Amino acid sequence: MKILVNNTHYDHLTPPEIGLYSRHLLIPSIGMKGQLALKNAHVLVVGAGGLGCPVLLYLAAVGIGWIGIIDADHIDVSNVHRQVLYRVVDKGKKKADVAKSRLQELNPYIEIETYIDQLNIDNAEELISRYDIVVDGTDNFIAKYLINDTCYLTGKPLVYGAIMQFEGQVSVFNVQDENGIRGANYRDLYSEPPDAALAPNCAEAGVLGILPGIIGCFQANEVIKLVTGLGRPLSGRLLVYDALEATTTELSFSASRNNPLRDPNWSQILEEIPAVCSSTVMPDQFVMTLAEFNDLIHAYAVIHLIDVRELHEREQVSIGGVHIPLAEIESTDNGYFNDVPIILYCQSGVRSQRAANILASKLPYSQIFSLKGGISAFLASDLYPEIMANLAQCQCNGLSNFH
C-alpha cells in the first residue's frame, strides 16, 4: 500500500542526503525510490512524550521529509527517564520546541513544524488533513478517540500505540485496501472508554523507562512500511508486547457494523467525544495549584492533609498527612472531618481529584481541594523548600516528616 503525499514532490536526493541514507539505499526494496518516498512523506506526531520521542527520533533519522509535532506540555524532570529527547536541564521548556531543535541537529535535511497546542475538537480536522499519516503518542482516551475519529473523517491512516507499566500495544487503523475499503479502527478494538479509575495513565500507574522506546520504534516501523509500501501493516492486528517476558502476542480484530463511525450520522460523533469520554475527565473546580497550597498552609493553623494513594506508593515518598486510599474515601466517617480545609493529594492529581468530588458530595459545606500535579509536581517545583517549611509550621492532621 502506498500513501499519496501532499503537494511537496522531490525527485532527487542531494549528495549529503545520499551519504546520510546510504544504508537504506543499499537495500534493493528501498533504494532511491523508497528513500524519495520517505522524503516526500508528511507525518504528524500527536504528543512528544514517551512514545513521541522515539517515534520522532527515528522518523527524523530515516528521512521523513516533513514532520509535524503537536504538544502543549512543558518538560518535567519526571519525563526524562523515558522521554529521551530531553535532558534534566531542559526542565520548564516546551517539549515541542526542544524536540524540534534536537531533531534538526540529528537531520538538517528535513522540515519540522511545531504546534504548541493540544489537539482538540476545534483544530483536529484542519491539522490532520495536512498530513499523510498520523502517529498517536498520547496517553488519554479523549485524545485517542478524537485522533481516531478525525483520521476516519479525513481518510488518514493512524499508527496507534499505548503503554503502561511493563506492557505496550501497537496497531494501525483506517488503512484502505486495494478496493478502497477502510480497515478497522480504534472503535472496532475498544468501542468505548473504560472508567478512568480502571485505566490510569503513566503518571498514575508508572511505566518502565525503556518500554516507550520499544513501542515507539514499532510505531516508527509501521510508518516506514506505510510510506514505502513494504511489508504488511498491523491493520486489523493488535501487537501486545510484554517487557518482562520479552514476548509478543498478536490479536486479530475486524471492522464492526456496530462501530458508530459507520452510522450514516457518524460525523456527529466528533462533537460527542468529550461526553463519551467524560468518565476519564473530572471537573476542575476543586483543583489547587502548588502556589495556592503554599498560601493556604501559610494562612491556616490547622488543615486536613490526606494521601489517597496506595500504601506501597506512600512508603516510597510522602508529604505527610493521613493515609486514606481512594477506594476508602467513600466509606470514611463524616465526623472525622472538622471545619478546616481538606487537601487531598496523590501521584499526579487524578485520584485526588476523584476523591475531592466524592468528599464534596458528602461534605457540601467543606473547603475541599485536590493538589494539582500531585507528588510529581511537588518534587519538581521550585516551591518545594518553602512549602515544606510552611508545612512544618502548620498543624496537619496526621502530619509526618517528608521522606
Span 136-192, pLDDT tens digits: 999 888 889 999 999 998 999 999 999 988 999 999 999 987 777 889 999 999 887
| Known catalytic residue at 151 | no
What mean pLDDT is predicted for residues 245-270? 82
pLDDT above 80 for 273: no
pLDDT above 70 for 388: yes
d(CA 139, CA 131): 21
* Domain at 15-262, CATH class: alpha beta
Run of H or E residues at 127: helix 124-128
Predicted confidence at residue 399, as pLDDT, reads 38
The mean pLDDT value of the chain amounts to 85
Residue of 53, 151, 346, 396 marked catalytic: 346
Q: What is the dihedral of CA 65, 71, 72, 74, to 10 degrees?
A: -100
Number of C-beta neighbours around residue 361 at 10 A: 8
* 384-393 vs 290-299: helix crossing angle, rounded to 10: 30
Counting other chains too, the contacts that 336-339 makes at CB distance below 8 Å and 24 or more residues apart are 337/304, 337/363, 337/366, 339/366
Predicted confidence at residue 70, as pLDDT, reads 97
Residue of 151, 202, 277, 396 marked catalytic: 202
**Pick from 219, 214, 227, 105: nearest CA to 166:** 214
Domain boundaries, the chain: 15-262, 287-396
pLDDT classification of 10: cutoffs 50, 70, 90? confident
pLDDT classification of 7: cutoffs 50, 70, 90? low
The arrangement of secondary structure in 287-396, i.e. its CATH architecture, is 3-Layer(aba) Sandwich (3.40)
Which is higher by pLDDT, 98 or 393?
98
d(CA 290, CA 384): 9
Predicted confidence at residue 265, as pLDDT, reads 65
Q: State pTM to two decimals.
A: 0.75
The 10s digit of each residue's pLDDT in 323-339 is 998 888 888 876 666 67
| Known catalytic residue at 346 | yes
